[in-house]
């Protein structure tokens, strides 16, 4: 087992590795075999305060550092991930239950976002704006917000921590990171170790491993952070938004989804099957962009369903360390139980199980359900696991109506032989992202990423990082003497 689980099973505050002072431990388990990976004594409210204070102290000097010098840290961090890729892959597989394909996907994107952070260091620009007052010069500076609090999820913890941490740091901010309790190393202390070894100044990045049962809303309410970047469920995101707004903080919320992949009557069926299977079952379906719903024009539904079901049945379920495994474990037993209950509820309500997966511990094999009632609540909620809902539709109009009939609006895809038909379809869908002739699961470093409705507020990636992690400051200069009315 990787030494990371012993060496990094601590808090990282003000450049020091140390145990928390809470009264209990978070136990880090391998979701596949139940092996205990680490035990981490939780951080308290006092340690959250120390972490934020450290970030604030270090941030002032960091913001004044030449951005060409700042970017060298991200260049080194990128090299370290490349050098340690095999070890990090083992950590992802052990702590998250991610397959080797998933680990490779996550590492590839993590490196891409570090490459973008290198460029982001040099991106902020100022402006000079005309004034109606003679002799006045209006300067608008883009400056760091100060300190950013980042809360990352369990499904892609390395990527989704780096995705906020790296740009926030690159733009001159300090950061305090709180990883998910199920992935404290991959999503937290591993990130700290990479940046520590890359030469990031002490105190600038802090990691607190804790639980709301211990600290409540202290991470959100603390007066120092000006922005909270949260990735997770819409239920928790709604709470984060409420608390941050009441304290006049900005929040960037990347929340859940209920994406659909739509197969129109002129689609390439074999290609659409491949895209749909990947979009639903990648990382056991534990992806916010995953295609919960598969809508197929009734004229091609029989052919698509036969091929889709056959491919789903061929997916190997098992040990994520096996290169042939496609479906590894879900993150914990609660998630496994909830997925079994979802399938049972659907069948009890009249759905037909074309494939009915079984749960063995945290291994949940794929299910394919069809014939759900049009008013089934399952069609409107996020299902975070390997369960697909097949829905035959009569033409584009019905497809658009059903795709939009959900509180979420994150991603989606449509398959058609006519690209402009696909683009026009995409324009009618109320989502932040939509893809023509591809899958629903995509993320690119310079393209705005985010959702509509209950799928979040704000955007990440590229220039939108400037909006998220910097603010504008107006400084005017009066050349000569100004006149006053009294």
Rounded CA-CA distance 217/239 in Å is 10
Residue 113, both tokens: 């976002």
- Establish whether 112 is a catalytic residue: no
CA atoms lying within 13 Å on the CB side of residue 428: 17
CA-derived radius of gyration, the chain: 24
Give residue for tokens 């940046």. 195
Pick the closest to residue 91 from 174, 179, 198 (CA basis): 179
**Which among 106, 196, 254, 396 is annotated as catalytic?**
254
**Are 383 and 404 a contacting pair, CB within 8 Å?**
no
Cβ within 8 Å of residue 188, ≥6 positions away: 12, 152, 157, 161, 177, 178, 179, 207, 209
Rounded CA-CA distance 6/208 in Å is 16
Beta strand pairing status for 174-178 and 205-207?
A: parallel
Q: How far apart are the first and last CA of the chain?
A: 76
Give residue for tokens 């360390």. 321
**Are 413 and 262 a contacting pair, CB within 8 Å?**
yes
Give residue for tokens 């941030």. 59
- Establish whether 288 is a catalytic residue: yes
CA atoms lying within 13 Å on the CB side of residue 422: 21
Element (H, E) at 5: helix 4-7
Rounded CA-CA distance 342/240 in Å is 27
Give residue for tokens 């299910």. 367
- Other Cβ atoms less than 10 A from the Cβ of 11: the count is 29
Element (H, E) at 468: helix 464-469
SS3 for 470?
Answer: strand
**Which among 112, 196, 288, 382 is annotated as catalytic?**
288
* Residues acting as catalytic residues: 254, 288
């Amino acid at each position: 087992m990787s030494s990371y689980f012993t060496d990094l099973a601590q808090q990282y505050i003000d450049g020091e590795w140390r145990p928390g002072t809470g009264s209990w431990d978070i136990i880090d388990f391998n979701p596949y075999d139940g092996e205990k990976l680490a035990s981490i004594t939780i951080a308290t409210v006092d340690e959250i305060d120390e972490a934020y204070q450290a970030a604030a102290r270090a941030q002032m000097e960091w913001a004044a550092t030449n951005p060409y010098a700042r970017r060298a840290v991200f260049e080194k961090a990128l090299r370290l991930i490349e050098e340690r890729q095999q070890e990090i892959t083992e950590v992802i597989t052990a702590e998250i239950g991610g397959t080797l394909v998933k680990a490779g996907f996550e590492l590839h994107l993590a490196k891409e976002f570090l490459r973008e952070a290198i460029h982001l260091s040099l991106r902020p620009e100022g402006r000079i704006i005309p004034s109606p007052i003679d002799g006045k010069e209006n300067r608008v500076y883009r400056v760091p917000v100060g300190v950013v609090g980042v809360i990352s999820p369990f499904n892609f913890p390395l990527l989704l921590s780096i995705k906020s941490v790296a740009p926030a740091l690159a733009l001159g901010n300090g950061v305090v990171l709180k990883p998910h309790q199920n992935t404290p190393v991959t999503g937290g202390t591993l990130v700290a170790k990479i940046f520590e070894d890359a030469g990031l100044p002490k105190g600038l990045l802090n990691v607190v491993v804790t639980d709301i049962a211990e600290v409540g809303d202290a991470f959100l309410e603390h007066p120092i952070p000006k922005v909270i970047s949260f990735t997770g469920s819409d239920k928790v995101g709604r709470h984060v938004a409420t608390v941050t707004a009441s304290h006049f903080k900005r929040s960037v919320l990347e929340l859940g989804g209920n994406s659909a992949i739509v197969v129109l009557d002129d689609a390439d069926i074999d290609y659409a099957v491949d895209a749909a299977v990947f979009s639903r079952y990648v990382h056991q379906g534990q992806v916010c962009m995953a295609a919960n719903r598969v809508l197929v024009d009734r004229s091609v539904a029989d052919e698509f369903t036969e091929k889709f079901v056959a491919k789903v049945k061929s997916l190997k379920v098992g040990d994520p360390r096996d290169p042939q495994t496609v479906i590894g474990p879900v993150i914990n037993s609660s998630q496994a139980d909830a997925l079994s209950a979802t399938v049972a509820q659907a069948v009890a309500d009249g759905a037909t199980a074309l494939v009915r997966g079984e749960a063995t511990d945290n291994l949940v094999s794929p299910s394919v359900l069809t014939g759900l009632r049009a008013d089934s609540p399952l069609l409107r909620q996020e299902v975070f696991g390997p369960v697909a809902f097949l829905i035959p539709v009569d033409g584009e109009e019905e497809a658009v109506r059903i795709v939009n009939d959900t509180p979420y609006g994150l991603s989606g895809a449509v398959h058609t032989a006519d690209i402009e038909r696909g683009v026009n379809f995409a324009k009618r869908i109320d989502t932040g992202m939509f893809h023509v002739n591809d899958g629903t699961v995509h993320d690119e470093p310079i393209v705005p990423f985010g959702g509509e409705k209950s799928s979040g507020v704000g955007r990440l990636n590229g220039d939108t990082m400037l909006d998220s992690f910097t603010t504008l400051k107006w400084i005017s200069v009066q050349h000569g003497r100004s006149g006053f009315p009294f």
